[in-house]
Each structure stands twice: as structure tokens, then as C-alpha cells.
Amino acid sequence: MPRLESSPLGLTETLSITFAAGPDKFKLESGQHFGPITVAYETYGTLSPQHDNAILICHALTGDAHAAGISSEDGRVGWWEVLVGPGMPLDTDRYFIVCANVLGGCKGTTGPGSLNPATGQPYALDFPVITIEDMVRVQKKLLNYLGIERLLTVIGGSMGGMQALSWAVQYPEMVASAIPIATSPALTAQGIAWDEIGRRAIMADANWDHGNYYAPGHPRPDAGLAVARMVGHLTYLSEESMSNKFGRRLRNRDRYSYSFNVDFEVESYLQHQGEIFNRRFDPNSYLYITRAMDYFDLRGQDESLTETFARTKSDFLFISFTSDWLYPPSQSQLMVDALREAGRGEAVEYFDAISPYGHDAFLLEAQQQGPVIRRFLERVQREKF
């Protein structure tokens, strides 16, 4: 039995819905028609009679629907517990909050590890290539099911921020505000390169077997996924945070081993991150979700970022972190400038938080971003509902 940790929200349950199970399949950005699709989600708080308090949280690459509370399934505390809960900036006494696992994921929503009804076997690489826009349109189906016609805000960090941006562009009438945190209107060449290194590490593992590792007894490409996680995790940290946390300290020794065993604390830490990631994530999902991030470009076809933002109607709060070199503040500033050029300067707020934690700051810096988020939500609810 897993050890239950404490949370003011108490136990939370992951629910699910399934759609596109009949002949009317879900049309993907690629043009492929796909279904059925199951969506795993959690909700916190109560939807008001006026339906004016709904918030959608979008998770990052390795996240899931369990944003807060204690999972009734495995006792885990939610990944955004620092911001979500009673009296918190995302106040479950005041707001009705929804968080769903993305399409292509491996925590309850249909992904490459799900059974293909046509074959009775996992999809593996028969799963279609998906986009951030596809993820958002699947979330829209969930909100339709929940009876939510308008959102007070859509909020998320990293890939979650990409989804928040896509929501504001795809559904301008539905989204009163968006809070994209530590994100970008499109991955840089460097960001795409990091994703490709992670994918190649997985595909180079002999156990990957072209994605066909789901059969009982077939070993998973855990070594490849661990390397992908180590590389990815490294990009989430800053040089300052790594120096403060590890420096050049040796691991359980006072001299070099003169071998390729673990000598340094930082080596041990990265190996540990790879090992625990293997317990909770599907390597094929890592391939598909990182590819969706690569393809994301907020600009519409043949239009500028300014023209794209001119089509939105949401208020925006952008949050960045000074030490985040993966999604640097310059990317948020680019979007702020585009909104102002589009004549929507009155709808934009921007907070660049001073933090040593790198990209991971969006998961950690509750004291800095929390009050800014709280004030923004109170203003939007007062002025737009």
C-alpha cells in the first residue's frame, strides 16, 4: 500500500470519458480520423450556478491529470500542489478547476500504449502523430461534457503554456483569459534539438523494437528513456541551481574511483531521475508528445505573431523566470510585444520573476507567481463576468 502524504484537498479521483467511439471519428491536424478517445481528468471545487469560475490547468510534457490533492490510486500528491487548493492562488473554494491528461499521454488518456480496438493490441507506432492543437480540441470535448461554455482562465507552464496559448487562438470567445507560464510561441531550434536527442536515445535502445515492447515479458527501452529523461531534466535546471545543489561534490567517497562508476553527486542525481521516470512514463508517449511540441507554432499559416494575437480576445498574464534558458524571458517578451503591436496592450500583464531554479521554477516558485496569479484572476472575474 503506498504511503499517503498530506494535502488540504484530501483524496482526489481520476475520472474519464470516451468519445468518437462510433463512426464519427475525431479529425486530427494531420487529416487523419481517429477514435475512440478516452480522456482522463480530475476536477477540484464546485462549478458556480453562473458558470463563471471554471479554470483549466494544462500540464507539461511529463505531467498528468493529477494536479492537486492525494491520488486515490497511488497516494501521490499533485504536481502543482503549491498553487492549487483551498485558499491557494488557484483557490478550490472559489474556482472550479479541471486538469486532463493530454492526448498521446500514458496516464489514462488514449496514447500509443492504449489498445487499438481494430487489433486488440497496443497502438505503438500505429498511433497517429498529434499536435498541441489536437490536445486542445480533445480538452474542448471534455469541457463540453462538463457543461463549461466559458473559461475564466486557461493556465499552464512549459508545454502547458503552449496549450493555454492555443486555447486563446482556437477558442477566442470561450477563453476570458490565459496564463502562459515559462513558455514560447514556438520551440527554438535548440529546443527542438534537445527533443530529438531524447527521442534518439529511446529509439537507439535495442529494447525499443520499433515501439513494439508492450508484449508480456518484452523488456522496455528503459535505458533509452532514462537517458532521455536525464537530458531533458538537465534543461529544466539552471547553472546556478546545479552549482548550489551539487557543485563538484563526490558521491560517498573522498577520492576519484578512476572508473566509469558514479563519482559525482550530480551523476547520481541524474541517474536517479532516469530510474524513477521509468516507473511512471511510457517511452512511446515521450516520442509523440515531444514531437507535438516541436510542431507547435502559434503563428497561423502565412501570418505574423502580431496578426495571430490580433485574433484573440483573452486577457493575458505572461510569467517567465530569469534563469530559465530553455524558455527564456525573451520568448514571453516577444509575445507581450506582439500583443501590444496588435493594439491589445491593455489586455496584457507580464511578470518576469527573479529565480535561480531555471525552467523548473514554474513548478516551485509559489511565493512569487502566486500573488500575481491571484490578483489577475480576481480582476478578470470582476471585469469579464
Q: Which residues are catalytic, by number?
A: 158, 324, 359
| C-alpha 350, offset from chain centre | 21
Tell me the H-state helices in the chain: 132-146, 159-170, 189-204, 222-236, 239-245, 265-278, 283-295, 305-310, 329-341, 361-364, 366-384
Measured distance CA(168)–CA(122) in Å, rounded: 34
Measured distance CA(236)–CA(107) in Å, rounded: 22
H or E element: which one contains 315?
strand 315-321
| Gap between the terminal Cα atoms of the chain | 45
Greatest Cα pair distance, the chain, in angstroms, is 68
Cα separations in angstroms, 165 against 35, 175, 294, 303, 314: 25, 10, 15, 16, 10
Measured distance CA(333)–CA(216) in Å, rounded: 49
- The half-sphere exposure of 359 on its side-chain side, counting CA atoms within 13 A, is 22
